[in-house]
Structures are given as C-alpha cells and as structure tokens.
Structure 1
Amino acid sequence: MRSRTRKLFLIILIIITIAIAGCASVSYQNLSADEAKDLINNNPQLQVIDVREQWEYDSGHISGSVLIPLGKLDGRIDELDSEKPPRQ
C-alpha cells in the first residue's frame, strides 16, 4: 500500500509540475496508481518529471523519469524535452 501511495503522490507532483511549467491550458484528472502505470506504459512520448528531492528519488522512482527537485525546477526547466509535450 505504501508503494501505491508514493506513486499517487508522484503523479500529483507531476501534475503540479506541468502547471508550473507554464501550460495554462492543462486540464487534469485524478488517477489511481494502476491508471498512472498504464498511462506511462502506453505513452512512450510521455515525459515523467519527478520533483522530489534526490534522497526520495533514490528510495524509488519511475523508470525513465527525470529528476528535477521542485525548488530547482525554475532554473532547470530548459532540461526538459520540448519535443515531448505534456499529456492534455
């Protein structure tokens, strides 16, 4: 159950990150951990951004995710792949 809670928390952080990145027209929906897993697995163009701290990321993360701690996101936003738009 703890793993599901972590994954759900990560999904919420991803949604917040998308909003911070200046996507004013982004809409969102709540997802279960299983729905998030399916979304990631079925959309290779999806860019997953983990905005937790390094120690949190090291304790477990989604394979292929990009770690940019939330406090550093503003200065590192250019590191994101602009060819991979957020899912809308």
Structure 2
Amino acid sequence: MKVFSAICRVIIGLIIAMILIPYTCLGEYRDLSAEELKGMLDSGQKLYLLNPLSDIEFNEGHISGSVNIPLHSIMRSDKMPKNMDTLIVTYCLSQQ
C-alpha cells in the first residue's frame, strides 16, 4: 500500500508540473527548500500557500495556513488569488 501511495504522489506531482509549466513564463518559478519556506513563513512574508492534494490527504497533514484546492479543480476554483502579484507557493509531497 505504501508503494501505491508513493506512486500516486509521484504521478500527482508530474501532473501538477505539466499544468504549471505553461504558467512559468508569467513570472518567476523556482524550487524552495523547506528551510527557505519556513523562513518566509516565520518572517510573516505574504504568500498564498497552496496544497493541491485530495481532501483526504490534506486532512492527514498540511502546513498551517495552507489552502487545499485538489488538483482536479485548480483551474475552476474561486479560491485562487485574484491579484497576479501574489506569491503562490505550491507544495504537495514530503519525504519522511
């Protein structure tokens, strides 16, 4: 079951990448380390923290203050920020 879960998470990550890659030309896109994100959160930097996993996976654990918009509904969600200058940080997978 753990292998199946890991495979599903990899597939979800690839799908997210395929969806987000076309939008990289609209602004800066880069990877953040967990330490960088923690520093941003600790400093109070304004950002939109997006977790695109399923509701079930989100409820199993997530970063406080993050917004859950399952991958299949991101494009039609009204939860996405309207301001194009909003820094969006997307996370969905952790290695434990």
What TM bracket, shorter-length normalisation?
A: 0.5 to 0.7
Letter matched to residue 39 of structure 1: M
Higher strand share: 2
Identity of aligned residues (%): 31
Gaps of 5+ in 2: 1-9, 89-96
In structure 1, the partner of 2:48 is: 47
User: Number of residue pairs matched?
Assistant: 74
Q: CA deviation at 1:68?
A: 0.3
1:3-37 deviations in Å (ceiling 9; x for gaps):
xxxxxx9xx89x95x93795632222222211121
Aligned-CA RMSD value = 3.2
Q: Where in structure 1 are there 5+ consecutive unaligned residues?
A: 1-8
Letter in 2 for 1:79: K
- If you compute each CA radius of gyration, which structure gives the higher value, 1 or 2? 2
Superposed counterparts of 1:7-86, under 5 Å = 16=17, 19=20, 22=23, 24-76=25-77, 78-83=78-83, 85-86=86-87
Normalising by structure 2, what TM-score? Answer: 0.57
